Amino acid sequence: MAQWAWMVDWDALDYSMTPPGYHELRTSQARVVLPGMTYFTLWGQDHLEWLQGQVTNDVRLLEERQWLDFCMTKPTGQLLALCRAWKDDDRLIVATAQPEVLRTRVEDSVILEDVVLSNLDDPMVCIQGPGAERQTGAHPSDRTGSGGYELSRSASPVLESASMEALELATLEAGIPLFGTDTTEKSLPPELGTHFSSAYISYTKGCYTGQEVLMRMKARGHTNKTWVGLQSTEPIRARSEVVSGRVVGFVHRAAFSPAFGHIASATLRNDAASEGHVVRVGDIYATVVEMPFLR
């Protein structure tokens, strides 16, 4: 994801109501535990060409980018996994919290190609925050909107870990969806909004699993629903219905941000998902914000 955190004066905020480790994520650095994250190496003579036909983004862009985000989808377009890859000499390092999706795809579709997937010998850890100093062998990786890197566990500096609540607040502000929380088994990648799509999807790369459905949605010009933010002066309750004349969607998660007040993520029908639209959640009102909050 792109970094937008520079638009907020983090030193001027009141952190008394924020979860442990959040202050460090926004002003210095902290170790972040990414639930379920598995690190693989992908290599072999055909590994780039094979991966190009499996994922939503253009693997060739890794030659000019620090990292590449992509989705793995069903042939019918539904989201199966979120992944991040780094080029490392003649191999790729691929990180995903849905490891069985990648393992199964390799087992099922690699036939004659020279492609090998294996677990990384020294799993990486994630350091996040504007004060994160890149170490030798580290890979740039922004997971929270304030920058950071991932590097081998054996080379990691000794830092306190930010709480899971701090990570969830930071990712919510940064417009980074949590798989299985902000998504369902029916979610289609373009429904996660233009900010997500620009980071995870290439519409010019050629064929891949699920491409036909995503290209059809692109040609149609819109989805039926969109993942958005909600902002209110009062607490927003997670897993609540969102109403705009009728039920138009549901809240996924909610938190209090020292920069933006009471915020939440929700998936709404497009007739209620435009920036500035006012909706009702229970007995309070909230304003729709296009993700991310950090701009």
pLDDT digits over 149-187, tens only?
Answer: 999 988 888 899 999 999 999 999 999 999 999 999 999
**Residue 263: C-alpha distances to residues 40, 254, 282 (Å):** 34, 6, 15
**Angle, alpha carbons 130-9-256 (nearest 5°):** 90
Report pLDDT for 220: 85
292 or 7, which is more confident: 292
Confidence of residue 65 (pLDDT cuts 50, 70, 90): confident
The pLDDT of 35-39, averaged and rounded, is 96
Residue 6 in this model has a pLDDT that exceeds 80: no
The pLDDT of 101-126, averaged and rounded, is 96
Residue 135 in this model has a pLDDT that exceeds 50: yes
Report pLDDT for 134: 74
145 close to 4: Cβ distance less than 8 angstroms = yes
Give residue 275's identity as a one-letter amino acid code: E
CA 234, 236, 240, 244 torsion-angle sign: positive
Lowest-pLDDT choice from 79-88, 149-158, 282-291: 149-158
CB atoms inside a 10 Å sphere around CB 111: 6
pTM of this prediction? 0.94
- What is the DSSP track for 89-127? TTEEEEEES-HHHHHHHHHHH-SSS--EEEE-SS-EEEE
Q: 158-182 burial, b if ≥16 CB within 10 A, otherwise e?
A: ebebbbeebbbbbbbbbbbbbbeeb
Tokens at residue 32, please? Answer: 């972040």
The DSSP symbol for 154 reads G
Q: How far apart, in whole angstroms, are the C-alpha atoms of residue 5 and residue 188?
A: 27
Q: SS3 for 248?
A: strand
190 close to 223: Cβ distance less than 8 angstroms = yes
Q: How far apart, in whole angstroms, are the C-alpha atoms of residue 247 and residue 255?
A: 22
Residue 57 in this model has a pLDDT that exceeds 60: yes
Helix/strand number for the chain, H first, E second: 6, 15
Lowest-pLDDT choice from 159-168, 215-224, 237-246: 215-224
Q: How far apart, in whole angstroms, are the C-alpha atoms of residue 190 and residue 206?
A: 17
Q: How far apart, in whole angstroms, are the C-alpha atoms of residue 237 and residue 244?
A: 16
List, edge to edge, every strand of the sheet that includes 68-73.
68-73, 79-88, 91-96, 38-43, 116-119
Looking only at the bridges linking them, the beta strands covering 79-88 and 91-96 are: antiparallel
Domains of the chain: 1-223 (3.30.1360.120), 224-295 (2.40.30.110)
